[in-house]
Amino acid sequence: MDEALVWRKFLAEWPEDIPHIGVIVTALDQVPFVDFMLSEHFGLFERRAPDTVGGRRVMIPYNKIAAIKFVEPIPNEKFAACGFRAAKPAE
Protein backbone atom coordinates (compact mmCIF):
# COMPACT_ATOMS: atom_id res chain seq x y z
CA MET A 1 0.00 0.00 0.00
CA ASP A 2 1.39 3.41 -0.98
CA GLU A 3 0.94 5.56 2.12
CA ALA A 4 1.38 8.77 0.13
CA LEU A 5 -1.62 7.87 -2.05
CA VAL A 6 -3.67 6.96 1.01
CA TRP A 7 -3.05 10.36 2.63
CA ARG A 8 -3.62 12.22 -0.63
CA LYS A 9 -6.95 10.42 -1.14
CA PHE A 10 -8.03 11.02 2.46
CA LEU A 11 -7.27 14.74 2.25
CA ALA A 12 -8.88 15.07 -1.20
CA GLU A 13 -12.06 13.37 0.02
CA TRP A 14 -12.18 15.20 3.38
CA PRO A 15 -15.88 15.24 4.38
CA GLU A 16 -17.67 18.58 4.26
CA ASP A 17 -18.99 18.03 7.80
CA ILE A 18 -15.50 17.93 9.31
CA PRO A 19 -13.75 21.30 9.67
CA HIS A 20 -10.35 21.76 8.00
CA ILE A 21 -8.74 22.13 11.42
CA GLY A 22 -6.24 19.78 13.01
CA VAL A 23 -2.61 18.85 13.39
CA ILE A 24 -0.45 17.13 10.77
CA VAL A 25 2.06 14.83 12.40
CA THR A 26 5.36 14.04 10.65
CA ALA A 27 8.46 12.29 11.95
CA LEU A 28 10.03 15.70 12.62
CA ASP A 29 7.18 18.05 13.53
CA GLN A 30 3.57 18.58 14.46
CA VAL A 31 1.92 21.27 12.36
CA PRO A 32 -1.37 22.76 13.56
CA PHE A 33 -3.51 23.88 10.61
CA VAL A 34 -6.73 25.80 9.96
CA ASP A 35 -7.08 25.05 6.25
CA PHE A 36 -5.25 23.26 3.46
CA MET A 37 -4.86 22.97 -0.28
CA LEU A 38 -3.65 19.99 -2.29
CA SER A 39 -1.41 19.40 -5.27
CA GLU A 40 -0.32 16.17 -6.88
CA HIS A 41 2.61 15.65 -4.48
CA PHE A 42 2.13 18.05 -1.55
CA GLY A 43 -0.39 19.31 0.95
CA LEU A 44 -0.18 23.05 1.68
CA PHE A 45 -1.24 23.62 5.28
CA GLU A 46 -2.12 27.03 6.66
CA ARG A 47 -1.28 27.83 10.27
CA ARG A 48 -3.53 30.02 12.44
CA ALA A 49 -0.47 31.96 13.62
CA PRO A 50 3.10 32.04 12.30
CA ASP A 51 5.63 29.57 13.67
CA THR A 52 8.80 30.70 15.46
CA VAL A 53 10.46 31.84 12.21
CA GLY A 54 7.34 33.53 10.80
CA GLY A 55 6.07 30.69 8.57
CA ARG A 56 2.32 30.81 7.93
CA ARG A 57 2.08 27.92 5.47
CA VAL A 58 3.99 24.68 5.12
CA MET A 59 4.18 22.26 2.18
CA ILE A 60 4.36 18.66 3.28
CA PRO A 61 4.83 15.75 0.89
CA TYR A 62 2.13 13.13 1.41
CA ASN A 63 4.70 10.42 2.05
CA LYS A 64 5.96 12.33 5.13
CA ILE A 65 2.56 12.45 6.87
CA ALA A 66 2.44 10.03 9.79
CA ALA A 67 -0.93 10.99 11.28
CA ILE A 68 -3.63 13.64 11.47
CA LYS A 69 -4.93 14.78 14.84
CA PHE A 70 -8.43 16.22 15.05
CA VAL A 71 -8.66 19.04 17.59
CA GLU A 72 -12.37 19.80 17.31
CA PRO A 73 -14.96 17.54 18.99
CA ILE A 74 -16.41 15.52 16.10
CA PRO A 75 -19.13 12.88 16.53
CA ASN A 76 -18.07 9.38 15.43
CA GLU A 77 -20.80 9.16 12.78
CA LYS A 78 -19.21 12.03 10.80
CA PHE A 79 -16.19 9.79 10.18
CA ALA A 80 -18.38 7.25 8.35
CA ALA A 81 -17.91 9.40 5.22
CA CYS A 82 -14.17 8.61 5.51
CA GLY A 83 -14.85 4.88 5.49
CA PHE A 84 -14.73 4.31 9.25
CA ARG A 85 -17.26 2.02 10.91
CA ALA A 86 -17.88 0.99 14.50
CA ALA A 87 -15.81 -1.97 15.63
CA LYS A 88 -17.67 -4.96 16.95
CA PRO A 89 -17.31 -5.21 20.73
CA ALA A 90 -15.19 -8.04 22.06
CA GLU A 91 -17.19 -11.00 23.30
The tens digit of pLDDT for each residue in 11-27 reads 999 988 899 999 999 99
Q: Within a domain: residue 90?
A: no
- Sheet containing 42-46: order of strands: 35-38, 42-46, 57-61
Task: Encode burial over 72-81: b for 16+ CB neighbours within 10 A, e otherwise.
Answer: eeeeeeebee
Residue 89 lies in a domain: no
Instruction: Establish if 26 belongs to a structural domain.
Output: yes
Task: CATH number of the domain at 67, please.
Answer: 2.30.30.100
In a domain, 17, yes or no: yes
The number of distinct structural domains making up the chain is: 1
Residue 52 domain-assigned? yes
pTM as predicted: 0.86
User: What is the average per-residue pLDDT within 55-76?
Assistant: 94
Measure the CA–CA gap between 19 and 74, rounded to whole angstroms: 9
Structural domain for 50, as ranges:
3-82
Residue 87 is assigned to a structural domain of this protein: no
